[in-house]
Amino acid sequence: MNKQDDVLRAAFHGAGRRLTAQRRLILEVLEESEGHLDAEALHDRVKARAPNISLATVYRTLAVLEDMGRVEKHSLGEDHGHYEAVRDRPHYHFACLGCGKVIEFDAPEVARVVRRLNKEKGVQVTDAHLNLSGYCARCRKKQDEGMRG
Amino acid sequence: MNKQDDVLRAAFHGAGRRLTAQRRLILEVLEESEGHLDAEALHDRVKARAPNISLATVYRTLAVLEDMGRVEKHSLGEDHGHYEAVRDRPHYHFACLGCGKVIEFDAPEVARVVRRLNKEKGVQVTDAHLNLSGYCARCRKKQDEGMRG
DNA sequence: TTACCTGCAAAGGGTTTGCACTTTG
DNA sequence: CAAAGTGCAAACCCTTTGCAGGTAA
């Protein structure tokens, strides 16, 4: 009914898709979350506001949104997918192996690598993921204490 | 029986593990492959030399080798794991969305990012993956031709 | 109105696990 | 000989799909 909705509807329509209550809600939750939810976590949050949305719809919507370029799927160490609403600046991830915390960071160096690769190998890069893992400051401290104790 | 075997056995022993014919073979195949095999492809190759090795053993061995730091698991766009024997120089991957081809490349820039992150956030990075995807030179050409045709 | 979307439940594909047997050290 | 590893098949988990009923445009 409002302007936001019209914009969103147009975006879906442009992709040959329809705007439904479920899709609007899923995108909304994804955008107001700080990212990196897996499908089930997202499903839980969504169900809080619309109890009978199915997990299947979550997966289907994520595929649609990914296709529309509004959501990105990441493989953050874990063996299942994590999803995140696309923002303006590209950013990358560090995942703590101790507590699971994810730190986002920017890294202009990646663009340089991409440029070089394009020049040297003639490839066209459409997507770049830099995933670091290790231990965050807090977990490192804990480890040290554990060793002492 | 030979020296290589002793070295390898020592490596396994050091990790509280035993050297078995299956493990030796799996590592061997992995090391002489050009990397990026998934578990099933690896299983196929291994079976060529030892027909009754099970897929379960392949998975269990991969876990052991990963744990020992001799093998790395990658998520290369596809939704299942790809494994590769660890070599000296770190290297990263570009996966072509058109033909599936994987191009490896080095990128010293990553080390720089890691250093910066350590300094700024205090994290200790133990593992870094830079995964690019897009279209290789050949597939780009094919696309262009397809548009013209 | 009709093509698209949903919920449900069942199927799928990659990976892990329980168990009885075999092998390593 | 005890502990660890293997093969087999069943279990598991995340994700996808078929279908009948609902909904956007």
Model pLDDT for residues B33-78, shown as the tens digit of each residue: 987 899 999 999 999 999 999 999 999 999 999 999 999 999 887 7
pLDDT classification of A149: cutoffs 50, 70, 90: very low
Instruction: Give me A47's structure tokens.
Output: 């169900």
Euclidean distance between CA atoms A17 and A57, whole angstroms: 14
Q: Which of B73, B74, B75, B126 has the most A C-beta neighbours within 10 Å, making it the best mutation to test the interface with A?
A: B75
Using a CB-CB cut-off of 8 Å, the residues of chain A touching B127 are 132-134
B86 φ, ψ (degrees, to nearest 5): -75, 135
Say which range, A23-32, A84-93, A111-120, has the weakest mean pLDDT: A84-93
Share of chain B above pLDDT 90, in %: 74
Q: Separation of CA A6 and C1' C7 in angstroms?
A: 26
pLDDT digits (tens, 9 = 90+) for A73-102: 998 877 899 999 998 777 899 999 888 889
From residues 50-89 of B, list those within 7 angstroms of strand C by Cβ: 55-56, 59-60, 63, 79-81
Q: Tokens representing A93? A: 């991830």
Query: Which range has highest mean pLDDT (A34-38, A141-145, B47-51)?
Result: B47-51
CA distance B92 to B105: 5
Give me A50's structure tokens. Answer: 């619309």
